[in-house]
């Protein structure tokens, strides 16, 4: 992939060095444009070293380099992007190498990913917010971050940015206006006021699916179990604790919004404690717990919203692969699902809380595809690819 990488004048510019270097190591061709302000924080020499290229574009030149680079590159990244740079691009002001190149590149329709970084007051300014919304409204521009910490709007960390950029395909776009609701993470079953049963789900799979959809341009929202990893800052999420709360919020969202697709990637508890103690249980005696089944979220969606497409994740110990595929095929048909993503939890630590997994995707006709143990971000890409294809996009 040919990447056009722009650096602007923020103290976060030093983070760009590592990101450029890692993108280059991943066998991408990285072409760097830097503003004069950026060179107050990082030198042209170190940018040349990071990118492995002799030429760094730091001045407005007469040879129309912005046109050449815009036509040649597959994707453009601005990391970090200051409030000044973002506002100039939004208003068509092309007075630095970065803004000139970004305006030129945006007109090609190819993806432009912007990673903002600035002080919180600037980020919250109504003038800046208007400019940011202008860019967000453009179909080929994605805004990633910032992360709000210590009253600073910080740039997304290089490691996270790297995964997003490498996992992003310029050719894969969600249709305009596609609305998707995703569930992720564990839920809790309370025993008393403070103790609860849960499972080791991290929420990564559902969050990565939401991020994949967001990067493709879909309008996505998460219903997230408490304790899950957090999504990109621009992805809205509702945090819940119990399976009942997750069900309630999913149905509430479907009543409010016309979602095209619901992806149930969470690991909600299947049981709740029949009688929850209203005080803290004493630790000097034994107790017996009676568990009762929780309502199934997919069943409630199919019953109340029969026109919504639903993808369901299933975790099971798979002893007989062919028998399991048959069972899941019947499950998809019976519940009128788009497909099922099945995890084999024979070795739980390889699935829950890990960065990798192994899945089978099964629809009404049987096995669609099967992966080996691959990163969950890759699985997210596969799931989204198949979902969009089945929806006719």
Q: How far apart are CA 168 and CA 71, in angstroms?
A: 19
Determine the straight-line distance between the first and last CA of the chain, rounded to whole angstroms.
Answer: 24
Give the model's pLDDT for residue 316: 82
Q: What mean pLDDT comes out for the span 88-93? A: 95
Number of domains in the chain: 2
Q: Mark whether 28 and 94 lie in a shared domain.
A: yes
**197 pLDDT higher than 90:** no
Q: How far apart are CA 361 and CA 311, in angstroms?
A: 10
Question: Which pLDDT band, with edges at 50, 70 and 90, does 379 fall under?
Answer: very high
**170 pLDDT higher than 80:** no
Structure tokens at 362: 């099964």
In a domain, 376, yes or no: yes
DSSP secondary structure string for all residues of 268-307:
--SEEESS--SSPPPTTS-----EEEPPPHHHHHHHH-TT
Tell me which of 167, 188, 219 is where a domain ends: 167
Q: Mark whether 142 and 117 lie in a shared domain.
A: yes
- Side-chain half-sphere of 273: how many Cα atoms within 13 Å? 17
- The angle subtended at Cα 41 by Cα 78 and Cα 91, nearest 5°, is 40
- CA 325 to centroid of chain Cα atoms: 29
Q: How far apart are CA 54 and CA 44, in angstroms?
A: 10
**Can you give the CATH number for the domain in which 67 is found?**
3.40.50.1950
In a domain, 153, yes or no: yes
Q: Mark whether 87 and 137 lie in a shared domain.
A: yes
Q: Mean pLDDT lowest for which of 12-16, 207-211, 348-352, 388-392?
A: 348-352
Give the model's pLDDT for residue 157: 92
Q: How far is CA 250 from CA 72, 132, 330, in A?
A: 44, 29, 25
Q: Mark whether 25 and 108 lie in a shared domain.
A: yes
Q: What mean pLDDT comes out for the span 324-348? A: 89
In a domain, 343, yes or no: yes
Contact 153, 144 (CB under 8 A): no
Contact 350, 358 (CB under 8 A): yes
Q: To which residue do tokens 């609305």 refer?
A: 179
Q: Mark whether 283 and 356 lie in a shared domain.
A: yes
Q: Mark whether 89 and 135 lie in a shared domain.
A: yes
Identify the sign of the CA torsion 319, 293, 242, 328: positive
Angle between helices 13-25 and 158-167 (to 10 degrees): 40
Q: Are strands 291-293 and 271-273 parallel, antiparallel or unpaired?
A: antiparallel
For residue 80, cis peptide bond before it (omega within 30 degrees of 0): yes
Question: Which pLDDT band, with edges at 50, 70 and 90, does 353 fall under?
Answer: low
Question: Which pLDDT band, with edges at 50, 70 and 90, does 213 fall under?
Answer: very high
Mean pLDDT of the chain: 90
Q: To which residue do tokens 């991408």 refer?
A: 28
pLDDT cut 90: percent of the chain above it? 61
Q: What mean pLDDT comes out for the span 160-167? A: 86
In a domain, 173, yes or no: no
Q: What mean pLDDT comes out for the span 2-26? A: 94
Q: What mean pLDDT comes out for the span 280-300? A: 87
Neighbours of 262 (CB within 10 A): 25
Structure tokens at 147: 């992360």
- CA 370 to centroid of chain Cα atoms: 22
Q: Mark whether 13 and 44 lie in a shared domain.
A: yes
Give the model's pLDDT for residue 168: 72
225-247 residue pLDDT tens: 998 889 988 899 999 999 999 99
Question: Which pLDDT band, with edges at 50, 70 and 90, does 347 fall under?
Answer: low
Tell me which of 138, 167, 196 is where a domain ends: 167
Identify the sign of the CA torsion 30, 36, 37, 41: positive
- The angle subtended at Cα 202 by Cα 199 and Cα 203, nearest 5°, is 110
In a domain, 288, yes or no: yes
Give the model's pLDDT for residue 349: 62
Q: To which residue do tokens 């929806």 refer?
A: 391
Q: What mean pLDDT comes out for the span 310-331? A: 90
Q: What mean pLDDT comes out for the span 199-225? A: 92
Local structure of 332: helix, strand or coil: helix
- Which H or E run includes 34? strand 29-34
- Give which of 228, 182, 221, 224 is closest to 201, Cα–Cα: 228
**Can you give the CATH number for the domain in which 327 is found?**
3.40.50.10300
Q: When comparing pLDDT for 289 and 36, which is higher?
A: 36
**119 pLDDT higher than 70:** yes
Q: How far apart are CA 95 and CA 92, in angstroms?
A: 9
Give the model's pLDDT for residue 283: 80
Q: How far is CA 167 from CA 28, 60, 291, 375, in A?
A: 13, 32, 42, 11
Contact 331, 282 (CB under 8 A): no
Query: Which runs of consecutive H residues, i.e. helices, occur in the chain?
Result: 13-25, 44-51, 65-72, 83-90, 97-106, 120-124, 126-136, 158-167, 204-215, 243-256, 297-304, 321-335, 376-390
Q: When comparing pLDDT for 272 and 78, which is higher?
A: 78
Give the model's pLDDT for residue 80: 95
Q: In sequence order, what are the beta bridge partners of 264?
A: 183, 312
pLDDT cut 70: percent of the chain above it? 97
Q: Mark whether 120 and 236 lie in a shared domain.
A: no
Q: Are strands 359-363 and 356-357 parallel, antiparallel or unpaired?
A: unpaired
Q: Mark whether 56 and 203 lie in a shared domain.
A: no
pTM for this model (two decimals): 0.79
Q: Which residue segment(s) compose the domain that 261 sits in?
A: 179-390
Q: How far apart are CA 126 and CA 124, in angstroms?
A: 6
């Amino acid at each position: 992939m040919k990447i056009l990488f722009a650096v602007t004048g923020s103290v976060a510019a030093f983070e760009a060095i590592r990101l450029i270097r890692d993108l280059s190591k991943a066998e991408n061709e990285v072409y760097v444009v830097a503003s004069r302000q950026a060179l107050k924080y990082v030198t042209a020499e170190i940018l040349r070293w990071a990118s492995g290229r002799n030429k760094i574009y730091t001045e407005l030149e007469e040879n129309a380099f912005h046109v050449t680079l815009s036509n040649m590159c597959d994707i453009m990244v601005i990391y970090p992007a200051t409030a000044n740079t973002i506002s100039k691009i939004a208003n068509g002001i092309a007075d630095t190498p970065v803004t000139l190149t970004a305006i030129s590149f945006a007109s090609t329709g190819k993806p432009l990913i912007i990673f903002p970084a600035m002080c919180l007051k600037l980020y919250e300014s109504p003038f800046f917010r208007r400019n940011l919304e202008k860019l967000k409204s453009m179909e080929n521009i994605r805004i990633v971050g910032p992360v709000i910490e210590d009253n600073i709007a910080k740039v997304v960390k290089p490691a996270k940015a790297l995964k997003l950029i490498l996992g992003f395909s310029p050719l894969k776009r969600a249709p305009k206006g596609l609305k998707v609701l995703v569930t992720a993470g564990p839920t809790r079953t309370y025993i008393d006021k403070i103790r609860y049963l849960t499972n080791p789900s991290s929420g990564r799979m559902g969050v990565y699916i939401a991020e994949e959809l967001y990067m493709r341009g879909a309008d996505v929202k998460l219903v997230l179990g408490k304790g899950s990893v957090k999504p990109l800052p621009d992805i809205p999420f509702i945090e819940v604790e119990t399976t009942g709360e997750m069900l309630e919020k999913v149905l509430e969202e479907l009543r409010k919004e016309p979602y095209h697709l619901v992806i149930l990637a969470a690991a909600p508890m299947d049981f709740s404690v029949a009688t929850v103690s209203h005080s803290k249980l004493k630790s000097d005696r034994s107790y017996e717990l009676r568990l009762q089944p929780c309502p199934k979220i997919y069943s409630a969606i199919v019953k109340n919203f029969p026109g919504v497409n639903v993808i369901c994740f299933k975790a099971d110990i798979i002893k007989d692969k062919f028998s399991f595929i048959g069972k899941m095929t019947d499950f998809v048909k019976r519940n009128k699902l788009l497909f099922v993503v099945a995890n084999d939890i024979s070795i739980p630590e390889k699935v829950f809380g890990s960065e990798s997994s192994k899945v089978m995707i099964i629809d009404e006709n049987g096995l669609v595809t099967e992966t080996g143990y691959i990163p969950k971000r890759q699985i997210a890409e596969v799931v989204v690819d198949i979902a969009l294809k089945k929806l006719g996009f």
